[in-house]
Amino acid sequence: MFCNQCEQTPDDGCTTRGVCGKEPDIQGIQDLTVYGLKGVSAYATHARRLGYADPEVDAAVHEALYSTLTNVNFDPEETLEQALEVGEAAVSAMELLDEAHTNELGVPEPTEVPQNGVEGNAILVTGHDLHDLKQLLEQSEGEGVSVYTHSEMLPAHAYPELSKYDHLKGNVGGAWHDQRTLFVDFPGAIVGTSNCVQPTREAYEDRFFTTGVAGLEEAESIEDGDFTPVIETAKSLPAVDWEPTGTVTTGFHHQPVLELADEILEAIEEGKLRHVFVVAGCDAPTPGRDYYRELVKSIPEDCIVMTTSCGKFRFNDLEFGTVPGTEIPRFLDQGQCNNSYSTVRIATALAEELDCGVNDLPVSIVLSWFEQKAVAVLLGLLSLGVEDIRLGPSIPEFLTPELVEALNAEYGLQPIGEPQADLREMLGGQVAPGAAD
């Protein structure tokens, strides 16, 4: 490969080893690192807004970002080690944010949430920032408005310090990418609180507001946590009455799930619970993502599905019920993407009780990725030594074939395939009937 600085190959004397000092494998690992750093920074920022910080996470971000400068390190093993250190920082940042959320908002509780019903003068909140939602609920109490969540804000309904507000009514819509259709029809004020905000359309730009890092040229930015403009806009718009289309469940944080640990272990030992599937990650309007719904629909009834992030909207409308012969729910929505930490806590606790490693558990992880937070979660899992993760709908293009081969050899990381074939392989070749409807 020719260097784009000196137009020579490394063998001909290029002093920067190709492409501005970065060989393709090095470049790929550094791209992976930078994606992960953005996710870590998002989680750390949300925690800092609630008054929680970890100097070690900050130091890891600084060092890793420094390592991506031109002509710093040409050792692939050391560069990959740096990426895994970003994964360790991701786990720490998720743990910190979980501490912030549970201390300030209470421990989430399993909750059934009305879906797509809207009544009266309404406000819809999208993004990830639960602190913003709390401020809005405090300021709008008694103002005659109803507040609804969208996408990654759905788990807010499970936190006691948020659900205690009677005017937090339900969830509307699905994953982040339905905004430009949903928001045209939604009759109230809208607040975007973080990333995953799309450019507005004229039909709703005059009733769209942003907070924090989110910003749109046409939208008014909320300053100093004062949501008065949002509330007054909602009150000025016509009242509506949309009938709910059903319910979705959320709130299976690791603490309430671990209260079921004895029952889960007993079900595993008695053969009632065969396997746990973690199907989680970011959704997007791109081809190949129907895979996740087809996979989950086919998972047998003696298995559990755990999930986080907005990818769950591909399948959280299905009826799962309980594991036969038990009271264990088959579908456990653990919350936002940062709540992937709950999956780690549950797996670690079960492994300790069974006196085995996490990779010895009857657990399979299937991730969907689209943006930086999903990469941070992936690096976090790899840093913990979690193996045999399936990733889709495709492997990131910045990972070279050589890197993919190395990650597969070391960790068993592999692309998703065909749902039924993957399911059979994850279940050791045996698939029984009785999946979700």
Instruction: State the binding site for hybrid [4Fe-2O-2S] cluster.
Output: 128, 152, 196, 282, 310, 337, 371, 373
Q: At residue 113, what are phi and psi to the nearest 5 degrees?
A: -120, 125
Could you give the 3-state DSSP secondary structure of residue 219? coil
Task: Give 5-67 as a DSSP string.
Answer: TT---GGGT-TT-STTT--HHHHHHHHHHHHHHHHHHHHHHHHHHTT---HHHHHHHHHHHHH
- Please give the C-alpha separations between residue 105 and each of 142, 159, 227, in angstroms, as whole numbers: 20, 6, 19
Annotated binding site for [4Fe-4S] cluster: 3, 6, 14, 20
Could you give the 3-state DSSP secondary structure of residue 290? helix
Q: Would you state the structure tokens that stand for residue 363, as one six-digit string?
A: 């657990």
Asked if 141 and 162 touch (Cβ cutoff 8 Å), the reply is no
Q: Which residue, among 161, 113, 98, 172, has the nearest Cα to 133 in the 3D structure? A: 161
SS3 content of the chain, % helix, strand, coil (to 5): 45, 15, 40
Could you give the 3-state DSSP secondary structure of residue 201? coil
Counting Cα atoms < 13 Å in the Cβ hemisphere of 415 gives 13
Cis peptide before 329 (omega within 30 of 0): no
Annotated binding site: 3, 6, 14, 20, 128, 152, 196, 282, 310, 337, 371, 373
206 vs 227: CA distance, rounded Å = 15
Task: Give 118-186 as a DSSP string.
Answer: EEEEEEEEESS-HHHHHHHHHHHTTTTEEEEE-GGGGGGGGSHHHHT-TTEEEE-SSSGGGHHHHHHH-
267 vs 324: CA distance, rounded Å = 10
Q: Which residues contact 93 (CB under 8 A, 6 or more apart)?
A: 40, 43, 44, 47, 54, 57, 338, 376
Q: Which residues contact 356 (CB under 8 A, 6 or more apart)?
A: none
230 vs 145: CA distance, rounded Å = 10
Asked if 284 and 402 touch (Cβ cutoff 8 Å), the reply is no
Q: Would you state the structure tokens that stand for residue 305, as one six-digit string?
A: 């599905």
Looking only at the bridges linking them, the beta strands covering 275-281 and 208-210 are unpaired
